Amino acid sequence: MKLSPLQKARYDYAPKLPSILTESIDTIVPVKGESTTPEGNADQIKALFPNTCGIEKISFAKGKNKEINILRNVGVILSGGQAPGGHNVISGLFDAIKKANPESKLYGFKGGPSGIIEDDTMEITEDYLAKYRNTGGFDIIGSGRTKLETEAQFQLAKKTCEKYGISAVVIIGGDDSNTNAAVLAEYFLSKKAGIQVIGCPKTIDGDLKNDSIEISFGFDTATKTYSELIGNIERDANSAKKYWHFIKVMGRSASHIALECALETQPNICLISEEIEKNETSLSGVVEGIAKVVAKRADNGNNFGVIIIPEGLVEFIPEVKALINELNDLLAKEAKSYASLKTTQATIEFILSKVTEKSARVFSILPASIKMQLLMDRDPHGNVQVSRIETDKMLIEMVDKKLEEMKSEGKYNGKFSALNHFFGYEGRCAFPSNFDADYCYSLGFNAFMLIASGLSGYLSSVKNLSSPAAEWVAGGIPITMMMNMEQRNGELKPVIKKALVELDGAPFKYYEKHRELWALETCFIFPGAIQYYGPAEVCDITTRTLALEQAK
Ligand code: FBP
Please tell me the predicted confidence (pLDDT) of residue 209: 94
Cα of 115 to ligand 1 centre, how many Å? 19
Contacts of residue 186, Cβ cutoff 8 Å, sequence gap at least 6: 48, 49, 50, 51, 52, 457
Q: For residues 87 and 172, what is the distance between their CA atoms, to the nearest angstrom?
A: 10
Residues of the chain below pLDDT 70: 380-382, 489, 552
User: Which class is 219-282+292-311+390-428+500-552 in CATH?
Assistant: alpha beta
pLDDT, position 382: 66
Intrachain domains 33-218+432-488 and 313-389 with the same fold: no
Global pTM reads 0.95
- Give the HSE-up count for residue 456: Cα atoms under 13 Å, Cβ half-sphere: 26
Residue 15: CB atoms within 10 Å: 23
- Domain 33-218+432-488 sits in CATH at 3.40.50.450
pLDDT digits (tens, 9 = 90+) for 6-16: 999 999 999 99
Q: Which of 250, 260, 426 to mutate to test the pocket of ligand 1 (most atoms within 8 A of CB)?
A: 250
Q: Give the closest residue (by CA) to ligand 1 atom 15.
A: 81
- Supply the residue whose CA is at minimum distance from atom 19 of ligand 1: 81
Residue of 145, 203, 220 to mutate, ligand 1, most atoms within 8 A of C-beta: 203
Q: What pLDDT was estimated at residue 62?
A: 95
pLDDT at 212: 87
Q: Where are the domains of the chain?
A: 33-218+432-488, 219-282+292-311+390-428+500-552, 313-389
Q: What is the pLDDT of residues 272-318, one digit of tens each?
A: 999 999 999 999 999 999 999 999 999 999 999 999 999 999 999 99
Ligand 1 atom closest to Cα of residue 175: 2
Which atom of ligand 1 lies nearest, measured to the CA of 202? 4
Q: Which residues pair with 87 in a beta bridge?
A: none
Residue ID of nearest Cα to ligand 1 atom 4: 203
Predicted pLDDT of residue 420? 97
Substitution candidate for ligand 1 out of 146, 180, 204 with most atoms within 8 A of CB: 204
Q: How many CB atoms lie within 10 A of CB 294?
A: 27
Task: DSSP for 107-168, please give it.
Answer: EEETTSTHHHHTT-EEEE-HHHHHTTTT--SSTTT--B-----SHHHHHHHHHHHHHHTEEE
User: Parallel, antiparallel, or unpaired for β 106-109 and 121-124?
Assistant: antiparallel
Domain 313-389 top-level CATH class: mainly alpha
Catalytic residues: 205
Cα 32–35–40 angle (5° rounding)?
145
Tell me phi and psi for residue 17, to 5 degrees: -120, 160
| Atom 10 of ligand 1, residue of closest alpha carbon | 251
* Ligand 1: lining residues by beta carbon, under 6 Å: 80-81, 83, 174, 203-205, 250-252, 311, 387, 428
pLDDT at site 335: 85
Q: What is the CA radius of gyration of the chain?
A: 25
- Write the CB contacts of 420 (distance below 8 Å, at least 6 apart in sequence): 245, 246, 247, 248, 390, 392, 393, 396
Largest CA distance in the chain: 81
